[in-house]
Amino acid sequence: MLKQILIIILSLLCLAGAVYAFVYLNGKTGMAVIFTCGFLLGILLMNLRLNVKNDRINSYKRELEKESINSTESSSRVKVLEAKIEVLEKALENALKK
């Protein structure tokens, strides 16, 4: 979250620099500053977008891992219960034979 706020602040500074260059600088210098600020602004905004996308992907991965763990727990519980049933069935058969 802090990284995203920092990127937004830097983007606003780049935008302010471009506006300053547009208003106060003339010629090639002004165009170079505007181009540089625009280029940096584009990089920062794409970085922000990728960070948000990666956060969503990571949260989705964690959700899938939790579901996987829960399904593994459920299947292992079923196996334990099946083993207990088999033991009880054998014990019942042995008791009925006696």
49-93 residue pLDDT tens: 998 899 999 999 999 888 888 777 778 888 888 889 999 999 999
Q: Tell me what pLDDT residue 85 has.
A: 92
Q: Tell me what pLDDT residue 59 has.
A: 92
Q: Does residue 1 carry a pLDDT above 80?
A: no
Q: Tell me what pLDDT residue 7 has.
A: 86
Mean pLDDT of the region 17-43: 87
Q: Does residue 24 carry a pLDDT above 80?
A: yes
- Alpha carbon 68 to its chain centroid, in Å, reads 18
CB 11 within 8 A of CB 48: yes
Mean pLDDT of the region 26-35: 86
- What angle (nearest 5°) sits at the alpha carbon of residue 18, between those of residues 15 and 22? 140
The H or E element spanning position 88 is helix 27-97
